[in-house]
Amino acid sequence: MKYRTLFKTLWNHLSKKQITLLVGARQTGKTTLMQQMQSKLENEEKRTFFISLEDPEILKLLDDHPRNLFQIIPPFNNNKKVILFLDEIQYLSNPTNFLKYHYDLNQDSIKFVVSGSSAFYIDEKFKDSLAGRKRIFILPTLTFEEFLIFKNRGEISSFINSGSIPEIYKLELQKWLNEYLLFGGYPEVVVEEELSEKKLILKEIADSYIKKDALEANIRYPDMYCKILKILSSRKGLFNSNNIAKHLKIKYQTINTYVKLMESSFHITKILPFYRNVEKELRKMPKIYLNDLGLRNYFLGNFEPISLRNDRGELLENFVFRRFYDFYSVDDIRFWRTQKKQEVDFIIQESKAYEVKFSKKTFNPQKYSYFKKKYTDLSFNLIHFDNVLEINLKPKQ
């Protein structure tokens, strides 16, 4: 059985009274993770129940009143805590009220482990009413290390970020890197061996599951939502909602609303500029990256190997962003750009700077002399295709 890295963290949180709330994009494996936890608990003879709110009869019962939960699960001994797994809680008409009701009345007898999508996660009532009652855990698509585990090659993942990969593993790791760059980390895509099937699964995720996010958020133009995702996949550099709005002939406010939903649905991440000089450095306009490379390539309609692509630099940069996203909070990831369009791709924790080039040969050190002179307290590093797995991007322990 293959476990996600988050499994251990979630397992440790079972001992806390707080609601364990698992969120993330659809199809990242939230249900599987909860089922694995339940299986392990049952092996330890703990009492558990698993309820899917995709069942319309159960959903109606719980919508009528939170106490109807006890018509679904049998009576239990209050001296022995029950672990209750609730999958897809956003389908409840008032999930916040349901969780608050049971947490306040039954926190000593029921431990809730709950999964939810963006429709629940972005609800302001949820944020206010459950303050102090829940802890949120985000499950993204597979990291590159998890990708190797799902490929049954987890033992070589320890060489990544090590500074030096043994020659015997370099070609193999490059092969896996190429696949990850093209098809990303959705678990179902990773375990599928046929390339044509991988593409079909990504199509299903884009056409069905992503549209569900749009429909559940009650946006007016769900098809436009996917068009905007496609544009974000193809554009390099700064995010400008006015430009996209003119291209699509819709209001820029609509673009901003949809982009906010994409963030809350865990499909994109917006990173902000780093600045110290208010007059000369960019302060407002962000950059946007897709959180899964397979989804990016689907929207571009391009699954060509990276070495043959015109966008290979952008694809590698998006991979490097994803590496930082796996190790740091979004607030720790910035970029630097001046009004004169001088730019450094990533500033991490205001202490390390990284520029990404597909080939080391295309790097011109002179272009960064102003930055290095201005920010002597920031270390400057070059990332390229040949060192991207060797260079240590992790925070210091």
The pLDDT confidence band at residue 226, using thresholds 50, 70 and 90, is confident
Is residue 119 scored above 80 in pLDDT?
A: no
* Most confident stretch, 62-76, 155-169, 226-240, 307-321: 307-321
The pLDDT confidence band at residue 123, using thresholds 50, 70 and 90, is low
> Range with the lowest mean pLDDT among 239-248, 277-286, 311-320?
277-286
pLDDT at 121: 58
pLDDT at 131: 82
* Burial of residue 190, with CB atoms counted within 10 A of its CB: 0-12 exposed, 13-18 middle, 19 or more buried: buried
Distance between start and end Cα atoms, the chain: 28
The pLDDT confidence band at residue 124, using thresholds 50, 70 and 90, is low
Rounded to two decimals, what is the model's pTM? 0.93
Q: Which tokens go with 161?
A: 């970020």
Do the Cβ atoms of 380 and 368 come closer than 8 Å?
Answer: yes
pLDDT at 219: 81
Q: How much is the average pLDDT of 289-306?
A: 96
pLDDT at 112: 96
The pLDDT confidence band at residue 5, using thresholds 50, 70 and 90, is very high
The pLDDT confidence band at residue 279, using thresholds 50, 70 and 90, is confident
Is residue 132 scored above 80 in pLDDT?
A: yes
pLDDT at 221: 80
pLDDT at 268: 95
Whose CA is closest to 16, among 103, 78, 99? 103
pLDDT at 217: 79
pLDDT at 348: 97
* Most confident stretch, 39-53, 214-228, 230-244, 248-262: 39-53
Q: Which tokens go with 263?
A: 């963030």
Phi and psi torsions of 265, nearest 5°: -90, 0
What is the residue-averaged pLDDT of the chain? 91
pLDDT (tens digit per residue) in 102-116 = 999 999 999 999 998
pLDDT at 127: 58
Which CATH class name applies to 6-138?
alpha beta
Q: How much is the average pLDDT of 72-83?
A: 81
> Of 168 and 79, which is predicted with more confidence?
168
Q: How much is the average pLDDT of 285-309?
A: 95
Q: Which residues lie across from 110 on neighbouring strands? A: 82
pLDDT at 120: 57
Q: How much is the average pLDDT of 141-149?
A: 97
pLDDT (tens digit per residue) in 352-395 = 999 999 999 999 999 999 999 999 999 999 999 999 999 999 88
Do the Cβ atoms of 160 and 144 come closer than 8 Å?
Answer: yes
> Of 195 and 276, which is predicted with more confidence?
195
Q: Which residues lie across from 138 on neighbouring strands? A: 23
The pLDDT confidence band at residue 78, using thresholds 50, 70 and 90, is low
pLDDT > 70 fraction of the chain, expressed in percent and rounded: 96
Q: What is the distance between the alpha carbons of residues 250 and 247, in angstroms, rounded to a whole number?
A: 8
pLDDT at 161: 86
> Range with the lowest mean pLDDT among 243-252, 273-282, 378-387, 388-397?
273-282
pLDDT at 154: 92
Element (H, E) at 30: helix 30-43
Q: What is the distance between the alpha carbons of residues 24 and 26, in angstroms, rounded to a whole number?
A: 6
Q: Where are the domains of the chain?
A: 6-138, 144-383
